């Protein structure tokens, strides 16, 4: 063989020995050899000392397969599939706690709670991620703001999205669907209706009260001389019941009002007798109303006798005395 041919052959062999060990295929074939020769620090040193130059690349092991050899890897033991930086340390671009490469949702908003795959969670399915959601238990179907809290545009206590009557007037009471209620069917919603027990068919004003009730609410007083008793007794006469029923129907339209039933007499008899008689008659009227009008509340209806102390006419005439023998229903402030 000519000297030139021999030199060319040797050069080709040397180049092949230098290139082949650096290739991925060669490294894979030599994985077992590298592991055996570099699993300990002293064996790695021996590997570099005794391994011929072209095969020294076999001494650079990447135990965790992250692309950074152990000698330069500052974060050994990186989980498979993790993306690392030049130091071999995992990257977490969106700072959600799940490293790149494993993170299947790489652009998680700051503050959002994520699952093991790095994807944001939304426990109440309102469109605002857990961790950002300030109202984490939003009912299904509710419309929420950017913080995840339900909106209630008409302030009726039923949130938007669930509210089937979104423009409820202020003050109206609503049902579970957010729709105003009208218990007495008078056209004025409960909560706004000042007379919630209006009889069927009665004409009412904008407050839901019949004309008679409105007059009572405006003046705060009903005075009647048509409630009659037996002479010097607190026993009601039968003809008094029509008047009492008429007044009871008015009072029950505003059952939450505190009302005083006041008994008054004329000046016949002694002051002490008249005081006791007027109080007894006032209590008789109160008892009748509570017994016959269930909407009225006992705590809101009081009875008091004034005797002859507050006349509205002269006691010197029969007509005047008749006017003084009266029962009054007064709204207490």
Q: Which residues pair with 259 in a beta bridge?
A: 301, 331
**Least confident among 2-6, 62-66, 325-329:** 2-6
- Give the chain's mean pLDDT: 83
* CB 193, CB 207: distance < 8 Å: yes
Greatest pairwise CA separation for the chain in angstroms:
164
Which DSSP helix (H) or strand (E) runs through 307?
strand 301-307
Per DSSP, the residues of 10-29 read HHHHHHHHHHGGGSHHHHHH
**Which whole number is the average pLDDT over 96-124?**
87
Write out 35-61 in H/E/C secondary structure: HHHHCCHHHHHHHHHHCCHHHHHHHCC
Query: Which of the four pLDDT bands, split at 50, 70 and 90, describes residue 25?
Result: very low
d(CA 278, CA 305): 5
- Is the pLDDT at 137 greater than 90? The verdict is no
Instruction: Output 78 or 229, whichever has higher pLDDT.
Output: 229
Supply the pTM of this predicted model. 0.48
176: which 2 tokens? 């579970």
pLDDT surpasses 80 at 73:
no
**Partners of 114 in beta bridges:** 120
CA distances from 283 to 230, 247, 249, 304 (A): 15, 15, 18, 7
Q: Which ranges of 61-176 does DSSP label H, i.e. alpha helix?
A: none
CA distance 311 to 320: 9
All structural domains of the chain: 3-59 (no CATH), 220-331 (3.30.1330.60)
Q: What is the pLDDT of residues 139-197, one digit of tens each?
A: 888 899 988 999 989 999 999 999 999 999 999 999 999 999 999 999 999 999 988 88
């Amino acid at each position: 063989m000519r000297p030139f041919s021999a030199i060319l052959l040797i050069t080709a062999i040397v180049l092949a020995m230098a290139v082949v060990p650096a290739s991925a295929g060669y490294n894979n074939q030599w994985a077992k050899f590298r592991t055996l020769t570099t699993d300990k620090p002293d064996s790695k040193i021996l590997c570099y000392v005794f391994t011929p130059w072209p095969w020294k690349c076999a001494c650079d092991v990447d135990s965790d397969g992250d692309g950074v050899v152990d000698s330069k890897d500052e974060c050994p033991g990186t989980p498979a599939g993790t993306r690392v930086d030049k130091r071999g340390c995992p990257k977490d671009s969106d700072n959600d706690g799940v490293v790149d490469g494993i993170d299947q949702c790489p652009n998680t908003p700051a503050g959002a709670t994520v699952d093991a795959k790095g994807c944001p969670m939304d426990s109440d399915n309102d469109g605002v991620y857990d961790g950002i959601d300030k109202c984490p238990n939003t009912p299904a179907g509710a419309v929420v703001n950017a913080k995840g809290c339900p909106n209630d545009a008409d302030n009726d206590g039923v949130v938007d999205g669930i509210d089937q009557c979104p423009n409820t007037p202020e003050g109206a009471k609503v049902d579970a669907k957010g729709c105003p209620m009208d218990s007495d069917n008078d056209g004025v919603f409960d909560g706004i209706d000042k007379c919630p027990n209006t009889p069927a068919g009665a004409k009412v004003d904008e407050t839901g009260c019949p004309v008679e009730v409105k007059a009572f609410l405006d003046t705060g007083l009903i005075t009647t001389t048509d409630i009659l008793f037996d002479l010097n007794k607190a026993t009601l006469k039968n003809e008094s019941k029509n008047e009492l029923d008429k007044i009871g129907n008015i009072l029950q339209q505003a059952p939450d009002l505190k009302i005083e039933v006041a008994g008054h007499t004329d000046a016949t008899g002694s002051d002490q007798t008249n005081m006791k008689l007027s109080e007894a008659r006032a209590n008789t009227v109160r008892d009748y109303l509570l017994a016959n009008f269930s909407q009225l509340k006992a705590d809101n209806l009081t009875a008091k006798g004034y005797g002859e102390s507050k006349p509205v006419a002269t006691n010197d005439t029969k007509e005047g005395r008749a006017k003084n023998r009266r029962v009054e229903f007064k709204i207490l402030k």
